[in-house]
Structure 1
Amino acid sequence: MTSFAPAPPLDTLAPTLDPTRVRLLDLLDQRQPGRSLPGALYTDPELHDLDLRLLWHRQWFFAGTVAEVPEPGDYLTVDLGTVSVLVLRDDDEQVRAFRNVCRHRGARLVSEPRGSVGNIVCGYHRWTYATDGTLRHAPQLVPTAEGGPDPACLSLRTVAVRVVSGLVFCCLAAEPSADVDAVGEAVAPYLDAHALDRTKVAAQVDLVEQGNWKLTMENNRECYHCDGHPELLRTFFPTWGLREDQVPPRLRASHERYLAAEEDLRVACEARGLARDAVEDLVDRPLGFRVQREALDGAGESFSPDGTRLVGRLLGDLDEPRLGRATLHAQPNLWLHALADHVVTFAVLPLGPDRTLVRTTWLVDADAREGADYDVEALTGVWRATNSQDAAFVELTQAGVADPAYEPGPYSEGERQVDAFVSWYVARMREEASR
C-alpha cells in the first residue's frame, strides 16, 4: 500500500507570487537610482494591469475639484481600467464617492463623464438610489417583511473621499491611508487663499496622450525640455528645478530675472501671510507631494503672452494680481497652478499601457463673467499649446522605450524630481507586489 505524508498546515505554507508579480519585482530590482525604468514597465499590458491593481486601486488619486460638482446632484466619473468611480454632491451638499455599479445585477449606473441627477437611476431595471447612495426604490423586490433583503444592505458601495482645499481625492482601498489628511494640512497654507470652493469651471479639455501614464508624469517633473514650450516660457522661468550652480551660461540672464522676481514675491507673500517656500516629500510617503509658490516672468500675474492677468476678478480675497503661481504636484496623478486670477488643474488617468488621458480644468471666480471678465480662448491658450507639445514629447518617448535598443539612461541635473517620482513608483509597487 502506498502511504502519503500528511499535508503541512496551511498557515506554514509560504505565499507564492504569480509569475507577473515575480517579473515585476525583478524589473523593479533592475532599476538603478538616477536612471529611467526598464522598458517593459512602460509598455507591457500585464504590468500595466498591475499598475492599476497594485497602485491606482490602492492609493489616493486626484478625481477633480469641488467646482466640478457645484450643486446637489452634480456628478463626475473617473475610470481606472475596469473600475468606475462616481463622485457627486449629495442633497446635503457633501461630496461623496461611490462605485459606479448597480447593486442589483451590476449594470453601470452612469456612463457620462459628468452631469446632474435628482436620484441615481439604473438604466437597466430602474433601481433608484438617493444622492447619499441609499436604495430608494427597487421594482418588484420582495419586501423585507416577506423575507426579502434589507434595502439598507443594498446601498451603493462607498469609496473613500477627502476634499483638500477644494481638491477631491479618492481611494479604492478597503483601508485607505490616512496620509491624505497630513498632506492636506501641508498644502492648505498655499491653496486656501485661492478659495477653490468659490470658483467655477471656465473650461475643461481632455487630451489623450499616446504614452504610458508614468511618462506623462515624468515629463511634467522637469523643465529640461522647456525650450519646446515657447508659449509657456513667456512666463515660466526656464531654470526651474536647477540649483544655482547648475544654471548654464546661456540661461544666466533668465535666472537673474528669476531671482529678482522671487524677491518681489517674497515681499508680497510676507505682507499677506501667504506660504511660499517649498515643502516636499516625494518618495517615502504614500501620497508623495511637492508644493511651492514661485514667481512668474513678464508682468508676473498670469499665463498670458506678457504675463498680465487674464481674469478681471481675482480669486478669494486676494488683493494683488502679482502673486506668482502656487504649484502643487501629487503622485500618482495631479499637478496644478494656482494664480491670483485663476487656477488650472491637470488630472492624469491611465487608459492603457500606451494611452493616457490628461484632463485640464481652468477655474475662475464663481462670479466672473465670460466675455466681460475673461475670454476662454485667451485663458486656455498657453496650456492648450503646452499640453499639445507635451503630448508629442510623450509619444516620442513611448516609441523609444518600446524599441529593443532602449536602455534606461541617466537623468540630468535638472531631473531630480523625475528620479524622485520613479523612486516613489518603485517603492509603492514593491510594497504592494510583495504582500
Structure 2
Amino acid sequence: MAQTMLKTLLRGRRPGYSLDAPFYTSPEIFAADMEAIFERHWIFVGVEPDIPEPGDVMTLDIGRNAILIVRDDEGGVRAFHNVCRHRGARLVHEEKGTVGNLVCRYHTWTYNLEGALIHAEHMGEGFDRGCHGLKPVHLRSLEGLIFICLAQEPPADFDQMAAAMGPYIAPHNIRDAKVAYSHDLIEPGNWKLTMENNRECYHCGANHPELTVPLFAYGFGFAPEDLDEMEREQARRYGCLVDDSHGDWERAGIPSRMLEHLDDMVTGYRTERLPLDGDGESHTMDTRAACRLPMGPFPSARMGGLHFWTQPNSWHHFMGDHAVTFAVIPLDENRSLVRTKWLVHKDAVEGVDYDLENLISVWMATNAQDSELVGFCQEGARTAGYEPGPYSPHTEMLVEKFCNWYVGRMRAHFDPAPVAAAVAA
C-alpha cells in the first residue's frame, strides 16, 4: 500500500509547485527516501581536516547505517561500516578520536586501519581472518571534501562532477586547512524542507539581516517587473560586476563561471563564484576577511564567495580567508541534522589570526533563522489546509530543480518502467 501511494504521488507531482504533504510528513515516505536517496547516492559527510593524522577516526549515522571514517597509516582516507564482524557490536563509540588499531571492546577483535581483521582469539584452527574484515563503504575525496556512498554500485558520474569541480575548489586548499569550529543544529523539519529552504534566497531579505550584509540582493534571482528604474539600474550594474569579476578571477587562474547540473545528473551539483558586497572579502558582518592567513595564494583578498551545492544534502561557501561546509543528515520525517564546519588555514591561531565569534557569527545567526523557518513549513505541512503552492519562476527556480531531481531519483528507484517509457516516447 505504501509503495502504491508513493508511486501515485510521484506520478502526480505538479511541476512548478511544492510537493504533496506526505513527502514531508509520512514516515513511510521518509523510509523510502532513506532507501532510494541516502543509501544509493553520494552523500557529503565531512572534510579531510576532520581526520588530519594517521589513526584519526570520525563516526556518523545515516539512517540505519553506522559509519566510521579513518585515516590509514599511508595517509589515505577510508570508510567502513562501524560494526564488528563478530557479533555486531559498534566498534567506535565517540564522534572523533585517535586509534592505533580498531578494537572491539566486546571481545577484542582487532582490525588494522585498512579494515583487515588482525586479531581474534579462540576462533579455532579453521577460522579464516581474511573473510572477516570490516565491510567497506565507497569513499571519494573531492579536494578534501569527503563523500560516501552506501550502494553496492555507486553512481558513476561522481568522476564527471569531480573533474569539473576540482579546479574550482583546489585553490582553497581544503586538505591544508583545519576545522576552526563545528556546530550541529537539529532543524524541526523534513530534510527536503531544509534543502528547499537552502536552494532559494526569496526569503533572505525579510529573514537574514546578517547574511544580506555580505551578499548582494540580486545574487540569487529577482523579478525585473517588480523593480523601479533605480533598482533595475542597480541590477544591471550587479550583472556587469559579476561578468567583470569572473573575467578578472579567471585570468588569474581561479575558475568562477556558473556550472549547473542540479537536475540533469544523478550526482547533481551547482557552482559559481559571486562578488561580495562592501569590502567584498568574506561572509562577515563587516565584509572583511575573518582570518589573517588566506587559504591559498590568491591574487587579492577580494575573491568573492564560491558556492558549491550537491544533491541531495550539501552546500558550501569558499572565500579567500575561510570556508564553510554544510551537511544535512535526515533523522526522521520531522527532524534533520544540519552540521556546519568553518575551516581556516591550518597554521591560523585563534585569537591571533582570527576571532572565532567574527568567523562564525553570520552563519550561526542564519542557521538559527533558517531552522525556525523550516519548522514553520513543517508545521504547515501537517495541517489540513496545506496544499502544494507555486514556486516563483524568478527566485525559486533552483528549488524546482531540487524537487525535479528528487522526484526523478525516487521514480528511477520505485517506478522505473513509466520513467523509461516516458524517455523512449
Q: Which TM-score band applies after superposition, normalised by the shorter structure?
A: over 0.9
- Give the aligned partner of residue 130 of structure 2: 152
Alignment of structure 1 residues 85-104 onto 2, 5 Å: 85-104=67-86
Equivalent residue for 2:141, pick from 163, 166, 170 = 163
- Give the aligned partner of residue 182 of structure 1: 160
- Paired residue secondary structure (1:161): strand
Deviation at 1:271? 3.1
- The answer to whether the aligner puts 1:34 opposite 2:16 as a matched pair is yes
Distance 2:152 2:262 in 1: 24
Q: Are the structure 2 counterparts of residues 26 and 257 from structure 1 closer, same or farther at C-alpha, using a change threshold of 3 Å?
A: same
Equivalent residue for 2:301, pick from 321, 343, 346 = 321
- The answer to whether the aligner puts 1:51 opposite 2:29 as a matched pair is no
Distance 1:336 1:108 in 2: 31
Q: Is the 8 A contact 1:237 1:255 kept in 2?
A: no
- Give the aligned partner of residue 341 of structure 1: 321
Q: Is the 8 A contact 1:198 1:316 kept in 2?
A: no
- Paired residue secondary structure (1:215): helix
> 1:268-295: CA deviations, max 9, x gaps?
3033111111111111211110011111
- Paired residue secondary structure (2:136): coil
Alignment of structure 1 residues 118-133 onto 2, 5 Å: 118-133=100-115
Q: Is the 8 A contact 2:102 2:112 kept in 1?
A: yes
TM-score normalised by structure 1 residue count = 0.92
Distance 1:312 1:81 in 2: 40
- Paired residue secondary structure (1:86): strand
- Paired residue secondary structure (2:178): strand
- The answer to whether the aligner puts 1:380 opposite 2:360 as a matched pair is yes
Distance 2:348 2:392 in 1: 43
Distance 1:268 1:40 in 2: 47
- Give the aligned partner of residue 16 of structure 1: none
- The answer to whether the aligner puts 1:112 opposite 2:91 as a matched pair is no
Deviation at 1:255? 3.0
Deviation at 1:138? 1.2
Q: Is the 8 A contact 1:30 1:38 kept in 2?
A: no
> 1:180-205: CA deviations, max 9, x gaps?
11100111121111111110000000
Q: Is the 8 A contact 1:258 1:297 kept in 2?
A: no
Q: Are the structure 2 counterparts of residues 293 and 252 from structure 1 closer, same or farther at C-alpha, using a change threshold of 3 Å?
A: same
Distance 1:216 1:85 in 2: 23
- Give the aligned partner of residue 209 of structure 2: 230
**Larger mean Cα displacement after TM superposition, 180-189 or 250-259:** 250-259
Query: In structure 2, what residue type is equivalent to 1:426?
Result: V
- Give the aligned partner of residue 415 of structure 1: 396
Deviation at 1:257? 5.6
> 1:216-257: CA deviations, max 9, x gaps?
000000000002100000011122222673663385475356
Equivalent residue for 1:266, pick from 243, 246, 251 = 246
Distance 2:132 2:227 in 1: 63
Equivalent residue for 1:198, pick from 165, 176, 194 = 176
Deviation at 1:264? 4.8
- Paired residue secondary structure (2:409): helix
- Paired residue secondary structure (1:392): helix
Note the residue ranges of structure 1 that are not aligned, 5 or more in a row: 1-18
Q: Is the 8 A contact 1:223 1:239 kept in 2?
A: no
TM-score normalised by structure 2 residue count = 0.94
Deviation at 1:123? 1.8
Q: Is the 8 A contact 2:304 2:319 kept in 1?
A: yes
Equivalent residue for 1:428, pick from 389, 406, 409 = 409
Q: Is the 8 A contact 2:276 2:304 kept in 1?
A: yes
Distance 2:373 2:232 in 1: 26
Deviation at 1:81? 1.3
> 1:95-154: CA deviations, max 9, x gaps?
101011110011111122222211111121111111110111112222xxx222x10111
- Paired residue secondary structure (1:218): helix
- Paired residue secondary structure (1:232): coil
Deviation at 1:332? 0.6
Q: Is the 8 A contact 2:83 2:134 kept in 1?
A: yes
> 1:324-362: CA deviations, max 9, x gaps?
011100001110001000010000000110100000000
Deviation at 1:66? 0.8
- The answer to whether the aligner puts 1:285 opposite 2:265 as a matched pair is yes
Alignment of structure 1 residues 2-81 onto 2, 5 Å: 19-81=1-63
- Give the aligned partner of residue 351 of structure 1: 331
Q: Is the 8 A contact 1:315 1:364 kept in 2?
A: yes
**Larger mean Cα displacement after TM superposition, 349-358 or 75-84:** 75-84
- Paired residue secondary structure (2:24): helix
Q: Are the structure 2 counterparts of residues 253 and 362 from structure 1 closer, same or farther at C-alpha, using a change threshold of 3 Å?
A: farther
**Larger mean Cα displacement after TM superposition, 235-244 or 42-51:** 235-244
- Give the aligned partner of residue 423 of structure 2: none
Distance 1:140 1:246 in 2: 77
